[in-house]
Amino acid sequence: MLTSFLTDYTRYVLKGGKQYYTWMGVLSAFMLAMLYVFYLQNTEGLIVTGMTSQISDGLYLANLVFLVGVAAGAVTIVFPAYVYHHEGMHKVAVLGEMLAISAVIMVMVFVFAHMGRPDRLWHMIPPRGIYSFSSMLGWDVMVLNGYLILNFVCGFYYLWCKYTGNPVNNKWFLPLVYVAIAWALSIHTVTAFLMANNPARPMWFHSMMPIRFIATAFAAGPALIILIFLVIRKNTKFWIDDSAIKLLTTIVHFCLGIAIFLTMSEVVVELYARTEHANGLYYLMFGLHGLTGLVPWFWSSLVLMVASFVMFFMPSFRNDFARLQIPCAMAFAGIWIEKGMGLIVPGYIPTPIGEVTEYHPSFVEWLMVLGIWSFGFFILTILLKGAIGILLGEIKHGGQAAVAK
């Protein structure tokens, strides 16, 4: 029966219209470019990137941290569905699990991209690696892999039951879902601790970091989910209830407000009585010693986040799903900038000995980022297409898979 499931699933996702093949073709082209960049980095080294000895983390780690938040944000569907029994969310909970799987896979690929020696990846795997249980990095590896396994098991078990027509065994399925909900908080919390436990980096070294990470995760994740849901409603026969999208909109709005409040609180606390420990934030906002490379990034992020927060208040955007895409995309982009150029990079500027140097991502890095995101959306498209086919009853055991549209 497993063979028939895989066969029917594969047959279904391989079928589609012109738009579907064009979309997958474009993603494949960027994925090929990504493979070339991987080859370039592994033959010539990370010198082909804009990273230096002073700034050893750039776009790769920024996207890694951001995508951990996107993966955790998928719980904003699962939690209301299984804890509060929200009917609209329950219908689409498995789609959130597919997003979580794709996001964690992208995180792992960014780990490979960021490593100068991917062949030494085993050092990150406890207990044999040098980064064992005493290392926050080791814990990060464990929680991310655990979250991937939980979502894979829960998501595909649910689809398996729908495919075979068998009832879901809630005696073990629901406890596993509840564990996955709690685990979602852990993945971004541990990632935040990974950064916060760096006394030599004053911009990261504070206890507010996990709260800030969770707030931005629960704003960016649902914002992306809303955009995906609107695409699904427009291009498939699977209907997602208005109630689900409206609840996600409320979550994005609320968490975005918290994220903005935390950012402004940090600005006031650090700059009101400015010390040398605030130089990273000051450089980010206004520049230091004539160097202003990150200043436009900070202000564009703040404008995008504040503007989208205000737009969510407006019924013309909040209740019109065609226009709702605008503040969702703005919030998503603003948080993406805030997690990268607004948090990861300025943490290295100035260095612990006071050096001020700037970071400019190279073309190689941008191509790698586009390639990995394309790889992630390629996987997400396959997972969502197959899941929707099963939910619609077009993929079922003993039946002929319908032609996908």
Q: Would residue 248 count as lying in a domain?
A: yes
Convert the pLDDT of each residue in 319-352 to its tens digit: 999 999 999 999 999 999 988 888 888 888 888 8
> How confident is the model at residue 236, as a pLDDT?
87
Q: Which residues of the chain have pLDDT under 50?
A: 400-405
Domain housing 70:
2-391
> How confident is the model at residue 402, as a pLDDT?
41
Q: Would residue 398 count as lying in a domain?
A: no
Q: Would residue 17 count as lying in a domain?
A: yes
Convert the pLDDT of each residue in 121-172 to its tens digit: 777 666 666 655 666 777 777 888 899 999 999 999 999 999 998 898 989 9
Q: Would residue 397 count as lying in a domain?
A: no
DSSP string, 3-63: HHHHHHHHHHHT---HHHHHHHHHHHHHHHHHHHHHHHHHHH-GGGSS--SS----HHHHH
Q: Would residue 377 count as lying in a domain?
A: yes
> How confident is the model at residue 133, as a pLDDT?
64
> How confident is the model at residue 150, as a pLDDT?
93
Q: Would residue 387 count as lying in a domain?
A: yes
> How confident is the model at residue 30, as a pLDDT?
96
> How confident is the model at residue 73, as a pLDDT?
87
DSSP string, 23-35: HHHHHHHHHHHHH
> How confident is the model at residue 346, as a pLDDT?
85
> How confident is the model at residue 130, as a pLDDT?
62
Q: Would residue 142 count as lying in a domain?
A: yes
**Helices (H), ranges, 273-320:** 279-286, 295-313, 315-318
Rounded to 10 degrees, what is the CA torsion of 249, 251, 255, 260? 20
**Count of domains observed in the chain:** 1
- Return the number of other C-beta atoms located less than 10 Å from residue 207's C-beta: 9
3-state secondary structure of 84: coil
pTM metric for this prediction: 0.91
Q: Would residue 135 count as lying in a domain?
A: yes
**What CATH code is carried by the domain that includes residue 175?**
1.20.1630.10
> How confident is the model at residue 288, as a pLDDT?
86
> How confident is the model at residue 342, as a pLDDT?
86
> How confident is the model at residue 404, as a pLDDT?
40
> How confident is the model at residue 401, as a pLDDT?
42
